[in-house]
Amino acid sequence: MEPCKCDTEEDDYCYLCCGNSHSQCLPAHQHNILRSNGERWEREACSRCRTNIIELEGLPCDDNDPKRLCMAEKCSNSVCNNKLPGAVCDKKTEKICVEDQCENPCARVASHLMVCDCPAIDQDTGFASEDRCQLCCYDFNLKPINRRCQNAFRKYKIGSSKNRPFYRVGLDCAGGKTCNRFGVCASCHLKVPLLIFGLIAAVRFF
């Protein structure tokens, strides 16, 4: 047996992986290769996730990589693979999925800035808020009564690698609408007709 790279990122991160030309590359313990004390060749962070699944599920597991969370008994950085962009991805509801990573993007500017949901109704105009479907942040250092959830892109210039706002896809809007992947509140029943229209237009173009 020789050290190798496991198929999944979580296994490769958590365990010593072993294999050869006759045996699949797997975590060493699956080949009955253990430490001298009988324990797995496993990172301590992963061991904590595996042995304390109820207490630690959805919480950070690695001080050196805050994007990793305890998920399904592993210290994983692929929490967002099956979540919508902007979806909450941790147990404390402090982080969201941005560019396939689970993080607090507000903290890119300052550690005391926290993710929040901008109101569905604009307090100044009384109409549906244009900020609802975008990332918003508030200053944790301020007293609760003085905290204001503000658009992160306009207020702090926090955006994607393409210099666009981060969208909160799937967040509920006023009037029974939902935030879509374009950062706009839309009625669910409009999505199918729009998709069909787009396909028809594409066929005509080609």
Note the pLDDT tens digit of each residue in 45-78. Answer: 999 999 998 899 889 898 888 888 998 888 988 8
pLDDT at 58: 87
Note the pLDDT tens digit of each residue in 107-152. Answer: 999 999 999 999 998 877 777 788 999 999 999 999 999 999 999 9
Average pLDDT of the residues in 158-168: 94
pLDDT at 20: 94
Contact 113, 135 (CB under 8 A): no
**Consecutive H or E run containing 96:** strand 96-98
Band the pLDDT of 81: cuts 50, 70, 90. confident
Band the pLDDT of 188: cuts 50, 70, 90. low
pLDDT at 127: 78
Contact 49, 74 (CB under 8 A): yes
Q: Residue ranges of the domains in the chain?
A: 83-206
Alpha helices in 61-158 (DSSP H): 152-156
